Structure 1
């Protein structure tokens, strides 16, 4: 288990050509007995992002970025967005809801959702299509994409560099790849999540099983470095915090933690049972007994744990003026 040392107000750093943004420290609620929370309000993304990333200038009636000015010469306004988003690929589409919502918001775009199993959806916008495919195999798309979205794919990817290289090769110049991934191991900033906690043991066992299956969990920050190695530019990594339960004082994080807890309690047996029985040789009863302690810790509001959740995006550069391909395309 690792421990975060985030600055009180969040931080932005640059390392290995990656702009890194870390969400602020979360203060705990002193009332540890109240295990309920109002989840009526909709959760929205909340991150403490360096203001320089979002600064812009107006020139000849168009909006341009000022972050790393001179490296990207195209507009960043709504007019340009509408021009760019023509073909979108959603990798590991799962339920298909992201692809459907994106298709609703961008009716001018063709959205393709891909997964190894079909999503169970009834109503799909006319510009959204779902395909069954194994993304570890050769991709056969004849036309490149303007935006590729990939979410919660670790530990489904056997070779992340090959995967990111495929994304790079199938993007238009100035197209974007976005990765959204969560760390397997939760963290705490105040030491209330102990190294011998049942939650940590469960994560260690999942990691062991997935390694045996040939699908180990990746170090998420390393994916940003791989993106730069493959050839992406203007790579930005944002680290957010999803509380384990409703322990935070801030209402936004309290609500997010309530949702996280419900999701985890409902899904933990489905995640661990095949990993522990097929990978580690446990019996069904052994798994169920072990999960009693895990669930109890999950609900313990004196444990101020959270999952690091990352958003990483980068842009494929424009080819050289002579029309030659990038050295990174292969």
Structure 2
């Protein structure tokens, strides 16, 4: 979705130059983005970090994967992350307990003039024609996540909504934000946007199932979770509901001395 559609084949938007020496991918997941960046910049050191050891064992020589909790408030980051040209975060900040601490440590570890780039969802469904808004059933799920689930796991799904101002307050400069209105479902008349809508629906549907399996952490019983899931899927599949999500891109620079 991001690389092929939203970013039009680019790996990132921050102007890091043609010869970055260190790029860090926080919350790297399976590590695919880190591997792609390593191919594009073979002279750069690429570090991917995640809580889970799910990355490939065989990697290019300029890639290394680390398993650690960078959200630990009592354990400072090691020097391996220091002097990075780029810190990359995608779908990470809403799922950690201390997102501002993550951003502060990124600022501290970037080299002067280095960049942070963040990709995330703003959890609010909207439409241009009034067919989708606050009454969309996925907002019920967001409300449940804001309640018992976030109390248990420390999520803050609304953190990205004010990310640009947060970065400025922390001392980042040259903050740029790009908002992408991505359709959900097959309703759009333009072929490219319809394809993006299919991908968006697939991603959100998979995430929906993952969340509702743990319905007790959302304060729902099994029957309530099943009904909510069905209501959301029905809305996704209704071509009369022209729902869109805000897929947010933000990049900002650490000031030069």
Q: TM-score scaled by structure 2?
A: 0.87
Aligned to 1:165: 104
Aligned to 1:81: 17
Q: Matches of residues 205-284 of structure 1 in structure 2 within 5 Å?
A: 205-213=144-152, 214-274=154-214, 276-280=215-219, 282-284=220-222
Cα distance in structure 2, aligned partners of 1:144 and 1:314: 16
Match of 2:62 among 116, 127, 130: 127
Cα distance in structure 1, aligned partners of 2:252 and 2:7: 20
Does 1:318 pair with 2:256?
yes
- In the TM superposition, residue 122 of structure 1 has moved relative to its aligned partner by 4.9
Over residues 96-115 of structure 1, what are the superposed CA-to-partner deviations in whole Å (9 max), with x where a residue is unaligned?
Answer: 11111111111111111111
Cα distance in structure 2, aligned partners of 1:127 and 1:248: 42
* 1:163–1:258 CA distance, 2 compared to 1 (3 A): same
Q: Paired residues, what number?
A: 246
> Structure 1: which 5+ runs fail to align?
1-38, 48-53, 55-75, 320-330
Deviates more, 1:118-127 or 1:298-307: 118-127
- In the TM superposition, residue 206 of structure 1 has moved relative to its aligned partner by 2.1
> Contact conserved, 2:55 with 2:65, CA < 8 A, in 1?
no
> Contact conserved, 1:43 with 1:252, CA < 8 A, in 2?
no
> Contact conserved, 2:177 with 2:251, CA < 8 A, in 1?
yes
Aligned to 2:89: 150
Task: Say which SS state the counterpart of residue 176 (structure 2) adopts.
Answer: strand
Cα distance in structure 1, aligned partners of 2:166 and 2:202: 33
Match of 2:240 among 273, 292, 302: 302
Deviates more, 1:283-292 or 1:172-181: 283-292
* 1:315–1:195 CA distance, 2 compared to 1 (3 A): closer
* 1:244–1:263 CA distance, 2 compared to 1 (3 A): same
Deviates more, 1:246-255 or 1:216-225: 216-225
> Contact conserved, 2:149 with 2:217, CA < 8 A, in 1?
no
> How large is the RMSD of aligned CA atoms in angstroms?
2.3
- In the TM superposition, residue 127 of structure 1 has moved relative to its aligned partner by 1.0
Deviates more, 1:294-303 or 1:156-165: 156-165
Cα distance in structure 2, aligned partners of 1:307 and 1:315: 26
| Greater helix content | 2
> Contact conserved, 1:155 with 1:210, CA < 8 A, in 2?
no
> Contact conserved, 2:183 with 2:197, CA < 8 A, in 1?
yes
> Contact conserved, 1:199 with 1:298, CA < 8 A, in 2?
no
> Contact conserved, 1:245 with 1:299, CA < 8 A, in 2?
yes
Cα distance in structure 2, aligned partners of 1:229 and 1:243: 32
> Structure 2: which 5+ runs fail to align?
none
* 1:118–1:245 CA distance, 2 compared to 1 (3 A): same
Over residues 190-231 of structure 1, what are the superposed CA-to-partner deviations in whole Å (9 max), with x where a residue is unaligned?
Answer: 211143332221222222234312222234241111111111
* 1:191–1:46 CA distance, 2 compared to 1 (3 A): farther
